[in-house]
Amino acid sequence: MSALLAALAAWQAPAQAEEPAKPRLPYSIEFARTQIGPWEVEASSYVEDETGVPMLGARFCEIRRSGIMLKTWREGQLSIYFGGYNLKSDLPELGIRAEEVRKIELDGSSWEYRWLGRWAKNRQFADLSYPPPPGPPANWDHIHHPIMEALSGWIAVRRGPGSPWFGADVLANELVRARRLRIGYVADDRDPEPDEGPLLWAEMSLDGLGEAFAWCNQAMNGERARLFHADLDP
C-alpha cells in the first residue's frame, strides 16, 4: 500500500509555486521640503507604473500656510485652494471652503473665483437616453458614507461678469509680485447666487511667496527630483 501511495505522489504534478506579490509603488515621492517665512514648501514627483516598472511622472510643488495652499507644476500650471485639503487654519477668518470664495484681490487687482465641479450627469450626451444610475445598497449609511456626485472640479478665475473663465495659472505673475491677498467669500453657501448679499472679507500677507515659488522652480528642475529613493518619508 505504501508503495502505491508513493507512486501516486510521484505521478502527480508538483504544485505551482505562488508568484511573489509585486511591491506596491508609492503614489508620489516627496524629494525636498523647506520653510520660507510662514510658508511650508514641499516638492514631489508622481510615480507612474503603466509599464510595470516605476517611471518618473509629473513634478509638482505645494506651498501652504494657514488655510491656503498653492500647487504648482514644473510645466507652469497653478491651483489655489482655500480650506480643506488637510489645511489647518489657526486664523478663524481663513477657515473657509473653496466653494464659499467669490473674489480674490491681489494688491487691488480683483478677480472672481470659482470652484467649478464636473458632475457625473454632465458627462452624458444631451440627445441620448441613459438608464437611471443604480441605487445604494439597502443597508447604505447615508450619513457616514454619502454618495458623491461630483467627479472632479477645477479652480477658475475671471475679471468680472461676461469675461471668460481661465485657470488659476493666469494669477502666477501677480501672486509673485503681490504683498497682500484679500479673499471675498460667503458663509455656508455652496451655490453662487446673484442676490447672496455683501461678501465677507479676509486678508493675509503674501510675504515670502515669491521666494517660495523660486525655491519650487529650482527644486523641480534639480537632480534630486529624478531620484526614486529620495523620499523624505520612507
CA-wise closest residue to 38 among 76, 69, 7? 69
pLDDT at 215: 97
The answer to whether residue 195 sits within a structural domain is yes
As a whole number of angstroms, the distance between CA 166 and CA 224 comes to 33
Q: Per-residue pLDDT tens for 66-90?
A: 778 899 999 988 888 876 544 444 4
Is the pLDDT at 100 greater than 60? The verdict is yes
Q: Domain residues for 115?
A: 24-226
Tell me if 208 sits within 8 A of 37, measured CB to CB. Answer: yes
The answer to whether residue 199 sits within a structural domain is yes
As a whole number of angstroms, the distance between CA 211 and CA 216 comes to 9
As a whole number of angstroms, the distance between CA 224 and CA 74 comes to 14
Task: Considering only residues 103 and 232, tell me which one the structure prediction assigns the higher pLDDT.
Answer: 103
As a whole number of angstroms, the distance between CA 102 and CA 179 comes to 20
The answer to whether residue 43 sits within a structural domain is yes
The answer to whether residue 222 sits within a structural domain is yes
Q: In 10 A of CB 25, how many CB atoms?
A: 14
The answer to whether residue 159 sits within a structural domain is yes
The answer to whether residue 17 sits within a structural domain is no
Domains: count for the chain = 1
The answer to whether residue 145 sits within a structural domain is yes
Question: Three cell numbers at 83?
Answer: 480650506
Spell out the residues 6+ positions from residue 172 whose beta carbon is closer than 8 angstroms to its own. 72, 76, 78, 213
- Dihedral sign, CA of 166, 170, 175, 180? negative
pLDDT at 189: 54
The answer to whether residue 14 sits within a structural domain is no
Average pLDDT over residues 184-209: 75
